[in-house]
Structure 1
Amino acid sequence: MSKTNKSVKDQHEENLMKWVGYWRANPQRFAKEYLNLHLFLYQKILLYMMNKVSWFMYIAARGQGKSYLIAIYCVIRCILYPGTRVVIASSTRKQAALIITEKIIGDIYNKSYAVRCEVQEYSASVNNTEIIFRNGSKISAETSSDNSRGLRGNILIVDEFRLVKKEIIDDVLKPMLNVYRIPPYMNKPEYMHLPREENKQLYISSAWYQSDWAWTEFQSYMKDMMTSTTTFVCSLPYQLSLYHKILPKQTVEKEKLSDTFDQTSFNMEYEALFVGENDKGYFKLADINKCRNVTKVFVPPTSLEYAENQSRANPKNISNLPRVNKTGEIRLISLDIALMGGSKQQKNDSSAFMLFRLIQDGNKYRREVVYIETIHRTIADDDLAVRLKQLYEDFEADYVVMDTNGVGLGVYNSCTRILHDEERDKDYEPWSCINDEEMNKARKDTGVPVVYSVKADAKFNHIIATSLKTAFENGRISIPCTDIEKREELVAKKGFLAMTANEQQRQLYAFQQASAMTSELVGLEYTVISGNIKIQEVGTATKDRYSALAYGNHYANEFEKELNKDESDNGFGDFILF
């Protein structure tokens, strides 16, 4: 009986090893046959290549389920290779942890009985997110920072690697792979001649800018794949998601028709294309990107929030960015005006608001753009003026910069009268011009001095273009970070995904506008006429956001001159004796 039992046991182990060998060679079949997961063809190919090569890179369009694919591979690798250590890293620990908590535990673990049998325990706490398997394998989410130095693993997976600094990947994450998985049989003399099992690096992300290190790394992987069997890289656009009905076609169409549509972001997120800059462009993408560091923006109150607040016995300040320092900060709204309305096929037909915080820093002002709004529809003078005064009040602004030439004059005239706001059921006091007394005299304006009038000519346009370029080059101006980065940050926090789609959009709006402005800036070309630089758009592109940004930046320079003038006068007075 003992001999029979031993024979059955040996046969069972032999059969199991055959299956393990078969599944290691075909991880996509393991997903179906053992984990009972349905995969599309592209997912099967990607899983196969993940397990075959040592260096893997996947540039994914939105809607392809890259996090889910990462989760599947982690589970497969840990089950088929006992004692494996998988490290998942991302720009934030929370983002990396979501792959474990939402995709593995929240999805695969709950759906697959086999996975539940393989897992010994798991932790989903903020500071310790990991899964431990009965065979000694482990999956953990780690921080992409110096705090992760000294950790070890066999499989490194970096999700949204473009958002992780190259120095962190090279100095912190890659050194984690300095240890290897050594199965017990490798210590036996008869197996000592076999090559060791190589560790793996998997980089997965959406596309990014060609000025970033991720593009250089992508090109390096492309070259290596042409000459090596250990490297694989691919870029899969959104049409694949449409084909498999993972991404609704209506979602793509709605994105293209959105007021905040940005071709550059669309190319990166949906087309999976790395985006470069216009060779003839005046503004350089690298200069702008290094200034995209504003993470807290102004979010104007909704009509409902405003009405509910006014109905209180004691209305409070409901701004998410209230004024704290009245003396060390200037709040400025600049406005480029268009009244005829527009669409994606029409050019130069948008009004653009740009909200600045000018925060005193010594003898200079740190310039932060904290909100951008565009109006594409046809709008009357009074209605645009009312929206301007709503923002002025909500933002607790000090000054307004606006073009008073052409159609802008009508909006200015509206601002100099008492305006009634039907939506908020209130009247706004009239304004007057600060820097053009002739306009005030001609109209007999006696309102509050708020408006800086812009009457642009070739020389003025040259000045604002060169000063804005200098501000970007010197890092003197800050604009909102990308909406892609901000969404990743918000998703990692509790509450964002529970918001309605409209509220999520509201929280991301300023960041989307900043991305659209970045695309607008790098798409602008220039010519030199009579010694002056002239900025011009190409095709159906616009420069509305550029104009509003340039106006605001120019007057930030003017405020700095006044600041230095005051300090100079004060210093000179110290030497006068009476």
Structure 2
Amino acid sequence: MTKLKTFLTAIFCVVRCILFPGTKIVVASGIKSQAREVIEKIDDMRKDSPNMAREISDLKTGANDSKVEFHNGSWIKIVASNDNARGKRANLLIVDEFRLVDLDVISRVLRKFLSTPRQPKYLNKPEYSHLKERNKELYLSSAWYKHHWSWDRTKAYVSNMIRDKAYFVCGLPYQMAVKEGLLDIEQVRDEMSEGDFNEISWSIEMECLFYGESEKAYFKFEEIDQNRTLPFPLYPPHFYKKLPKQNTLKYETKKDGEIRLLTADISIMGGSKNDASVFTIIRLIPNKNGYQRQLVYMESMEGGHSSTQGIRIRQLDTDFECDYIVLDTNGAGVSIYDALVTPLIDIERGLTYDPLTCLNDERMAARCSYSDAQARIYSIKGNIDLNSEAAMSLKDGFRKGKIVMPVNEQEGRGLLQGVTGFSKLQVEDKVEFEKGYVQFSLFINEMINLENISKDAKIKLQESGNSRKDRYSSVAYGNYIANQLERELLADSSSSDEDYNFFYSSF
């Protein structure tokens, strides 16, 4: 629905500037490139409209100088949504994707632009003095989660609207785009039938519905979302080769003491909304408190033969220089494990991967018949106790800020637009980069749909409706192993301190 929103906003701005000479419009956004899209849309429209083109004296779409100027003195300019925007003046303020803008910036900076209203000369005549104008504010956004201040602001505006004040609130759901021929209904049906279709994201983005998690939800959106602080995911190395060499976005090699986990929740049979294999890359960065867990990459695979999934795991294992593979070996995961403990031939890359074996379960290790296999697989066999501990430690990790992941996809798209060469990529390649953010939004949606159905001290989580928990399981089990590695790290650190203190006191 972003295209429809931007299209209507561009038309409104042009009409306003032409019919009301001397109008000053400022467009701000949580992402500056998003605000620039209004100017770009006007540029597209004037190419097909000679009448519009005659009204415009200058138009620029540069990253740092986007504006439209009209012969009648009206103009449209873009500003950043931060303290540096102070001092601007406008008759009309448009804040695009306003939920991404800090509320304090809106109140202290952006709304202060609206000082002196437009002063047409006819107001100097007594008979027209009653026609003075008010400055206007226009806030645009997709819906979001109800914990956010944008939901409270929306309710406040609706309340003023129904009390007949000068407020107006409306939603533009996907049905409107279908009716106007801007969205194909068959495309909508296909998207809604996909195995990884997410109802929450759809209702937020396409149906204009704010979402609030269930009262029974074990994980709360706010305590998870606050940890979306990483500007970029970590992509497989070949992703970066699509960009020019001089760009600032590069593959990050391992830091001193860093451990990387590839954690997998497995499904063999595809086609069900509750069936998908999910592979997650977790970086464990050592600090004074143990390890910071950085969730940097995630991908899902609908079903797939065990050898196919095994090869994909080894590809990711190699690409990200992983130290350990955390594998759910209950049920279908056993067949993937059996594939990993034998040599795997990767025809796509022309490689043969050496067999691996288990390092934490003797019975699973016995399934490997190669004596020289590296012990790099953690076998996870979920049960009531383990699953409860995994859930509690994951919740605790988010509350304490020990687990971080990439920012949301709207912010991510804005950051990617600033990467040299990204705008020139093929659409398919851009989508692959953006998926690095979208996967973690889907992960969060899964988590806030999990309800604790246990009636005792143990945590037992269950999906609500047709939602799934593959991404949750992948991360929860990875974090479970991260806790074990952290205990080993802290124990080693403590032993080293004791050895040093003993040596120092003896000396």
Q: Equivalent residue for 2:336?
A: 411
1:13-67: CA deviation from partner (whole Å, max 9, x where unpaired): xxxxxxxxxxxxxxxxxxxxxxxxxxxxxxxxxxxxxxxxxxxxxxxx355x221
Going from structure 1 to structure 2, the CA distance change for 1:547 and 1:559 (only over 3 Å counts) comes to same
Q: 1:86 & 1:70 partners in 2: Cα distance?
A: 12
2:23 to 49, 62, 84: 84
By how many angstroms is 1:187 displaced?
4.2
Q: Equivalent residue for 2:103?
A: 166
Going from structure 1 to structure 2, the CA distance change for 1:236 and 1:93 (only over 3 Å counts) comes to closer
By how many angstroms is 1:498 displaced?
4.6
RMSD of Structure 2 on Structure 1 (CA)? 2.5
Q: Equivalent residue for 2:174?
A: 238
Equivalent AA in structure 2 for residue 428 of structure 1: Y
Q: 1:549 & 1:82 partners in 2: Cα distance?
A: 57
Matched, 1:103 2:46: no
Contact 1:263 1:519 in 2 (8 A): no
2:77 to 140, 144, 147: 140
Q: Equivalent residue for 1:21?
A: none
Q: Equivalent residue for 2:208?
A: 272
1:96-245 matched pairs, under 5 angstroms: 96-100=35-39, 102-104=40-42, 106-187=43-124, 190=126, 194=130, 196-245=132-181
1:473-484 matched pairs, under 5 angstroms: 473-484=399-410
Equivalent AA in structure 1 for residue 48 of structure 2: K
Going from structure 1 to structure 2, the CA distance change for 1:238 and 1:493 (only over 3 Å counts) comes to farther
Q: 2:449 & 2:17 partners in 1: Cα distance?
A: 47
Matched, 1:543 2:481: no
Unmatched segments (≥5 aa) in structure 2:
243-248
Q: Equivalent residue for 1:75?
A: 14
Equivalent AA in structure 2 for residue 80 of structure 1: L
1:94 to 30, 33, 54: 33
Contact 1:158 1:204 in 2 (8 A): yes
Equivalent AA in structure 2 for residue 513 of structure 1: Q
Equivalent AA in structure 2 for residue 557 of structure 1: N
Equivalent AA in structure 1 for residue 297 of structure 2: Y
By how many angstroms is 1:569 displaced?
0.8
By how many angstroms is 1:501 displaced?
3.6
Matched, 1:329 2:255: no
Q: Equivalent residue for 1:342?
A: 271
1:440-459: CA deviation from partner (whole Å, max 9, x where unpaired): 35756531121112122211
Q: Secondary structure at the match of 2:79?
A: strand
Deviation larger for 464-473 or 439-448: 439-448
Unmatched segments (≥5 aa) in structure 1:
1-60, 307-318
Q: Secondary structure at the match of 1:545?
A: helix
Q: Secondary structure at the match of 1:178?
A: coil
By how many angstroms is 1:424 displaced?
2.1
Equivalent AA in structure 2 for residue 507 of structure 1: F
Equivalent AA in structure 2 for residue 120 of structure 1: S
Q: 2:193 & 2:423 partners in 1: Cα distance?
A: 23
By how many angstroms is 1:492 displaced?
6.8
Q: 1:421 & 1:265 partners in 2: Cα distance?
A: 35
Contact 1:87 1:153 in 2 (8 A): yes
2:322 to 392, 397, 422: 397
Q: 2:289 & 2:395 partners in 1: Cα distance?
A: 21
1:337-381: CA deviation from partner (whole Å, max 9, x where unpaired): 22222323xx3x22111111112223322211111122222x333
Equivalent AA in structure 2 for residue 91 of structure 1: G
Going from structure 1 to structure 2, the CA distance change for 1:388 and 1:138 (only over 3 Å counts) comes to same
1:436-476: CA deviation from partner (whole Å, max 9, x where unpaired): 34543575653112111212221111110001111122222
Contact 1:260 1:512 in 2 (8 A): no
By how many angstroms is 1:114 displaced?
3.1
Q: Equivalent residue for 1:381?
A: 306
Equivalent AA in structure 1 for residue 379 of structure 2: S
1:17-56 matched pairs, under 5 angstroms: none
By how many angstroms is 1:193 displaced?
5.3
Q: 1:507 & 1:258 partners in 2: Cα distance?
A: 20
Q: 2:308 & 2:74 partners in 1: Cα distance?
A: 64
Q: Equivalent residue for 1:288?
A: 224
Contact 2:356 2:377 in 1 (8 A): yes
Q: 2:347 & 2:60 partners in 1: Cα distance?
A: 54
Deviation larger for 112-121 or 70-79: 112-121
TM-score, normalised via structure 2 length: 0.91
Q: Secondary structure at the match of 1:423?
A: coil
By how many angstroms is 1:196 displaced?
3.4
Q: 1:69 & 1:141 partners in 2: Cα distance?
A: 17
Equivalent AA in structure 1 for residue 263 of structure 2: S
Contact 1:359 1:367 in 2 (8 A): yes
Q: Secondary structure at the match of 2:201?
A: helix
Q: Secondary structure at the match of 1:360?
A: strand
Going from structure 1 to structure 2, the CA distance change for 1:198 and 1:453 (only over 3 Å counts) comes to same
Equivalent AA in structure 2 for residue 470 of structure 1: D
Contact 1:370 1:480 in 2 (8 A): yes
Q: 2:433 & 2:484 partners in 1: Cα distance?
A: 32
Larger Rg: 1
By how many angstroms is 1:73 displaced?
1.6
Equivalent AA in structure 1 for residue 271 of structure 2: G
Q: 2:459 & 2:285 partners in 1: Cα distance?
A: 29
1:525-558: CA deviation from partner (whole Å, max 9, x where unpaired): 1122552111112333221111111011112222
Equivalent AA in structure 2 for residue 288 of structure 1: I
1:99-145: CA deviation from partner (whole Å, max 9, x where unpaired): 11x112x2233333333333333343332222222222221111111
Q: Secondary structure at the match of 1:208?
A: coil
Q: Equivalent residue for 2:188?
A: 252
Equivalent AA in structure 1 for residue 258 of structure 2: E
Q: Equivalent residue for 1:424?
A: 349
By how many angstroms is 1:261 displaced?
2.4
Q: Equivalent residue for 1:14?
A: none
Contact 1:261 1:516 in 2 (8 A): no
Going from structure 1 to structure 2, the CA distance change for 1:424 and 1:117 (only over 3 Å counts) comes to closer
Q: 2:205 & 2:465 partners in 1: Cα distance?
A: 23
Q: Equivalent residue for 1:513?
A: 439
Deviation larger for 500-509 or 173-182: 500-509
Contact 1:299 1:506 in 2 (8 A): no
Q: Secondary structure at the match of 2:57?
A: strand
How many pairs were matched up? Answer: 496
Going from structure 1 to structure 2, the CA distance change for 1:177 and 1:530 (only over 3 Å counts) comes to closer
What is the identity percentage for the equivalent residue pairs of Structure 1 and Structure 2? 38
Equivalent AA in structure 1 for residue 178 of structure 2: L
Q: 1:459 & 1:289 partners in 2: Cα distance?
A: 27
TM-score, normalised via structure 1 length: 0.80
2:296 to 370, 373, 377: 370
